[in-house]
C-alpha cells in the first residue's frame, strides 16, 4: 500500500537556509570573539592587542584559522584513532545544535509566506538545550581518554565532573522560571516576558545562578580548571593539533555565544525591544522583525563582553573551591529560590 506523503519543499528550503545562516553566524561570531578577547585583554592591560593583520588587526582571526588549517596534523600512535577524531567533532556538533530552539526574532513575511526566525519551535525547548549541552561532556571525556595521556585524562575528568555539577544548579535555577511561564517552549517564554516584563525582574537570584553556571559550563575563568596550564600542562586537548584543536577552541567560543543568547532569551526578553511598545510604531512587520533580531544580538554581545571581562579580572579558583561553590552554595541557593518562587505563586493565586 502506497502512502501519499506531501512534502512542503518551500518549508524544507526555508529551514535549510535558516540553519545555514545561524550556523554561519555562530562560526563567524566565534571567530571574531577570539579577536575581541585579545582586544578586551589589551584594553584592560593598557596595551594594543592584535593590530598587524589587516586594518586594526581585523584579519587576525583569518590568520589564526589559516595557521590551524596548515599545521601538521598529529595523531598519537598509542591513541584510539576513531575516538580521537570523534571527541572534537562531538564538541563542535553539540555546540552548534543548541541554537536550533532559540527564537531569533518574530516572523518575516516573504514570497507570500510567514517565515519563522526559529529553526524548531518545539514544546520542550529548554529540555532540548539541556539534553544537547549534556552531550558536550562526552566530547571532553572521549578526547581526554582517547589521547592515551594521563594529564589529558585528568583534565577530562575535571571538566566532566565540573560540567555535571554545575548543570544541576543551572537546572534547579530554571525550574523557578518555568513555574512562572508554565511552558518549556522558548517562544512562549519570550512572549510571556513581552506581556508581563522581563524575568530578570522576578528572578534576579535565578539569573545570577544561571550566569555563574554558564561560566562553568563554558570552562571560562574562574572555572577553567579543565585546562589549567600551570597544573595540567595544556588540558584535555593537549595531544591535539591542527583543526582538531581548532574544533575544541571554536566549540568553547560558540558555547559562549549560544549561552549569551539563551540568557538573553530566558531572562532579558529575547528579541523584545526594551522600554517601548512595538505595536504602536505602525512600521513594516519585516523591519520590526529585523530590529528585534538586532536587539537580541546586542544583548548577546553584551553578555559576551562580560564573559571576556571576567576572564581578565578574576583569578582562577582552586578545584576544591570550584566544587564547594557548585554543591554547597549554588545548589542550596537554587533550591531556596525554587521554594520561595513556588510559595509566592501560590500566595498570589489565592
CA distance 227 to 235: 4
Longest alpha-carbon distance in the chain: 74
Q: What pLDDT shows up at residue 324?
A: 92
Which DSSP category does 4 fall into?
Answer: -
Question: pLDDT of the chain along its 350 residues, tens only?
Answer: 445 566 777 778 888 889 999 989 988 999 999 999 999 999 988 898 888 888 888 898 889 888 888 888 888 887 888 898 898 899 889 988 888 899 998 888 887 788 888 888 888 889 999 888 888 888 888 988 898 888 888 888 888 888 889 999 999 999 999 998 988 999 999 999 988 889 999 999 999 999 999 999 888 888 887 766 556 566 788 888 888 888 888 888 999 999 999 999 999 998 988 888 777 777 888 888 899 999 999 999 999 999 999 988 888 888 888 899 999 999 999 999 999 999 999 998 87
Alpha helices in the chain (DSSP H): 9-44, 60-70, 81-97, 125-146, 150-181, 186-196, 199-202, 204-217, 229-232, 242-267, 285-311, 319-324, 331-348
Single out the residue of 266, 258, 267 nearest to residue 297, CA to CA: 258
Domain ranges (residues) in the chain: 64-109+120-348
Whether 277 and 195 have beta carbons less than 8 Å apart is answered as: no
Q: What pLDDT shows up at residue 4?
A: 53
Single out the residue of 118, 75, 77, 84 nearest to residue 100, CA to CA: 118
Whether 195 and 145 have beta carbons less than 8 Å apart is answered as: no
The pTM of the whole model exceeds 0.75: yes
Whether 28 and 250 have beta carbons less than 8 Å apart is answered as: no
CA distance 73 to 88: 14
Which DSSP category does 227 fall into?
Answer: G
Q: What pLDDT shows up at residue 232?
A: 52
CA distance 153 to 331: 27
Query: Length of the chain, please?
Result: 350
Amino acid at each position: 500500500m502506497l502512502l501519499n506523503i506531501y512534502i512542503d519543499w518551500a518549508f524544507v528550503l526555508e529551514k535549510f537556509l535558516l540553519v545555514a545562516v545561524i550556523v554561519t553566524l555562530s562560526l563567524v561570531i566565534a571567530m571574531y570573539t577570539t579577536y575581541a578577547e585579545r582586544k578586551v585583554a589589551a584594553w584592560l592591560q593598557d596595551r594594543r592587542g592584535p593590530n598587524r593583520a589587516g586594518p586594526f588587526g581585523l584579519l587576525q582571526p583569518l590568520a589564526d584559522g589559516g595557521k590551524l588549517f596548515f599545521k601538521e596534523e598529529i595523531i598519537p600512535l598509542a591513541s584510539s584513532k576513531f575516538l580521537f577524531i570523534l571527541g572534537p567533532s562531538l564538541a563542535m556538533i553539540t555546540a552548534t545544535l543548541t541554537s536550533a530552539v532559540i527564537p531569533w526574532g518574530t516572523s518575516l513575511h516573504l514570497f507570500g509566506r510567514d517565515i519563522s526566525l526559529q529553526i524548531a519551535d518545539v514544546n520542550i525547548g529548554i529540555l532540548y538545550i539541556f539534553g544537547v549541552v549534556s552531550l558536550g561532556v562526552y566530547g571532553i571525556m572521549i578526547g581526554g581518554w582517547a589521547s592515551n595521556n594521563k594529564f589529558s585524562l585528568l583534565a577530562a575528568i575535571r571538566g566532566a565532573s565540573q560540567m555535571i555539577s554545575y548543570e544541576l544548579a543551572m537546572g534547579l535555577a530554571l525550574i523557578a522560571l518555568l513555574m512562572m511561564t508554565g511552558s518549556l517552549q522558548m517562544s512562549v517564554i519570550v512572549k510571556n516576558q513581552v506581556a508581563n516584563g522581563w524575568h530578570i525582574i522576578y528572578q534576579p537570584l535565578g539569573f545570577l545562578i544561571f550566569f555563574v553556571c554558564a561560566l562553568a559550563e563554558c570552562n571560562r575563568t574562574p572555572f577553567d580548571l579543565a585546562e589549567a596550564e600551570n597544573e595540567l600542562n595544556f588540558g584535555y586537548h593537549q595531544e591535539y593539533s591542527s583543526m582538531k584543536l581548532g574544533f575544541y577552541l571554536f566549540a568553547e567560543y560558540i558555547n559562549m555565544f549560544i549561552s549569551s543568547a539563551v540568557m538573553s532569551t530566558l531572562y532579558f526578553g529575547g528579541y523584545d525591544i526594551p522600554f517601548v511598545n512595538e505595536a504602536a510604531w505602525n512600521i513594516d512587520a519585516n523591519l520590526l522583525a529585523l530590529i528585534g533580531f538586532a536587539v537580541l544580538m546586542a544583548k548577546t554581545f553584551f553578555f559576551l563582553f562580560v564573559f571576556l571581562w571576567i576572564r581578565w579580572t578574576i583569578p582562577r579558583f582552586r578545584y576544591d573551591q570550584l566544587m564547594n561553590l557548585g554543591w554547597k552554595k549554588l545548589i542550596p541557593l537554587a533550591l531556596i529560590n525554587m521554594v520561595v518562587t513556588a510559595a509566592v505563586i501560590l500566595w498570589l493565586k489565592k
